[in-house]
């Protein structure tokens, strides 16, 4: 089956620090990969996506590269802000499987001033 | 684009009662998904519709759960004879019917079964 594994949190950082959240996946088909973010008290929002190998998704200073050889989609940001404090979810879909999302367990990030 | 809406936002019920949740997707979206999220976990897929047809149900969806999308617009999720283990956040998402769809999520309905 399909699964997503991401590093457990919480991750606590100081403002302007570098953030990396590791994500690896297993998939029976050729997946599209996503990072979703859940800010406190809000719903899930799509942060970025990549649909084929070597694609780089980027948004709001976050980046992630689809690495087929290592089945990974690590999320990075060079300089975090307090407003980046949230829970981040890595996820995948398989088009032939109805595009239902398979999520990782989430990583809570806390950025301190 | 008014976004995906869900009602109610919170529901507290006693064990054994039936509950029904509603989801209104983004108007031009053909696909509608239901997920369940328990505390500290990622969302888990429950079921999805393309227009009014329910195309897949997860094994997580026991016989006590039923979902409908009668006119291909809003959807309802009903849980009969609720159990404490049903306590979770129930999320609805919608998307266009395309190869690389993005799913847009509603705010969720938080169910607490006492």
- pLDDT tens figures, A6-22: 988 899 999 999 999 99
CA distances from A79 to A4, A13, A30, A84 (A): 26, 10, 32, 10
pLDDT given for residue B44 in this prediction: 96
Query: Which of B42, B51, B89 is most worth mutating to test chain A (most A CB atoms within 10 A of its CB)?
Result: B42
Q: Does B107 touch chain A (CB under 8 A)?
A: yes
Answer yes or no: is pLDDT of B1 > 60.
no
Chain A residue with CA closest to B35: the answer is: A101
Tell me what the mean pLDDT of segment B1-6 comes to. Answer: 84
What is the Cα–Cα distance from A68 to B60, expressed in whole angstroms? 30
Which is nearest to B34 in space by CA: B98, B86, B108, B85? B108
What is the Cα–Cα distance from B77 to A89, expressed in whole angstroms? 24
Which tokens in the block code for residue A25?
């996946």
Q: Note whether B66 and B59 are within 8 A (CB).
A: no
Read off the pLDDT band of B61 (50, 70, 90). confident
pLDDT given for residue A94 in this prediction: 85
Q: Note whether B6 and B107 are within 8 A (CB).
A: yes
Pairing of strands B65-68, B75-79: antiparallel
Cβ neighbours of A43 in B, within 8 Å: 91, 105-108
Answer yes or no: is pLDDT of A98 > 80.
no
Read off the pLDDT band of B98 (50, 70, 90). low
What is the Cα–Cα distance from A34 to A51, expressed in whole angstroms? 9
The rounded mean pLDDT for chain A is: 93
Cβ atoms < 10 Å from Cβ of A27: 18
Q: Does A83 touch chain B (CB under 8 A)?
A: no
């Amino acid at each position: 089956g399909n699964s997503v594994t991401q590093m457990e949190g919480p991750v606590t950082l100081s403002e302007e620090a570098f953030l990396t959240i590791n994500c690896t996946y297993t998939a029976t088909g050729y997946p599209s990969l996503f990072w979703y973010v859940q800010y406190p008290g809000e719903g899930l929002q799509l942060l970025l996506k990549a649909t084929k190998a070597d694609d780089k998704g980027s948004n709001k200073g976050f980046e992630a590269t689809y690495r087929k050889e290592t089945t990974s989609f690590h999320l990075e940001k060079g300089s975090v802000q307090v407003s980046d404090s949230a829970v981040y979810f890595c996820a995948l879909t398989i088009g032939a499987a109805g595009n239902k999302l398979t999520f990782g367990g989430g990583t809570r990030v806390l950025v301190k001033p | 684009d008014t976004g995906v809406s869900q009602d109610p936002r919170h529901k507290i019920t006693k064990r054994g009662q039936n509950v029904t949740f509603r989801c209104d997707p983004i108007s031009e979206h053909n696909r509608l998904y239901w997920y369940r999220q328990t505390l500290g976990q990622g969302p888990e897929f429950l079921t999805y519709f393309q227009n009014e047809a329910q195309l897949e149900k997860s094994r997580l969806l026991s016989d006590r759960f039923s979902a409908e999308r009668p006119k291909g617009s809003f959807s309802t999720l009903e849980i009969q004879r609720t159990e404490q283990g049903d306590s979770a956040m129930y999320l609805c998402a919608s998307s266009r019917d395309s190869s690389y769809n993005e799913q847009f999520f509603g705010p969720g309905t938080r169910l607490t079964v006492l």
